[in-house]
Amino acid sequence: MAEPQFLVHSPKDNVGVVVIENLAKGTDMLGVVTEDDSTLNLKSEADIPIGHKVALVDLKEGDTIIKYGEDIGKMVGPAEKGGHVHTHNMKTKRW
């Protein structure tokens, strides 16, 4: 298997985490779901730094973000499938 560009923790997740440096917009990415070792392919719609999240589906303002199979926050702005998800468009629900 080729080296993945992003990891997804659970099949329930709607975001993955970029695991390579300098991921450029337009990159055809390989993702691995660590819970079951399945794979998925996705095209990056933005430059995404290592450790930041990538949207696995189109996300709109108000959507719940699922990572590790758990609710980790909500969207405060949109992100298209393959788009960058971070503090500019996602916030915790705690405050």
Three-class DSSP category at 31: strand
**Strand residues in 1-95 grouped as ranges (E):** 6-8, 15-18, 28-33, 38-43, 53-55, 64-67, 70-75, 84-85, 90-91
Domains of the chain: 6-91 (2.30.130.110)
Instruction: From residue 27, give the alpha-carbon distance in Å to each of 12, 21, 46.
Output: 24, 12, 9
Tens digits of pLDDT across the chain (95 residues): 689 999 999 999 999 999 999 999 999 999 999 999 999 999 999 999 999 999 999 999 999 999 999 999 999 999 999 999 999 999 998 87
pLDDT of the residue at 1:
67
Are 71 and 15 in contact by the 8 Å Cβ rule? The answer is: no
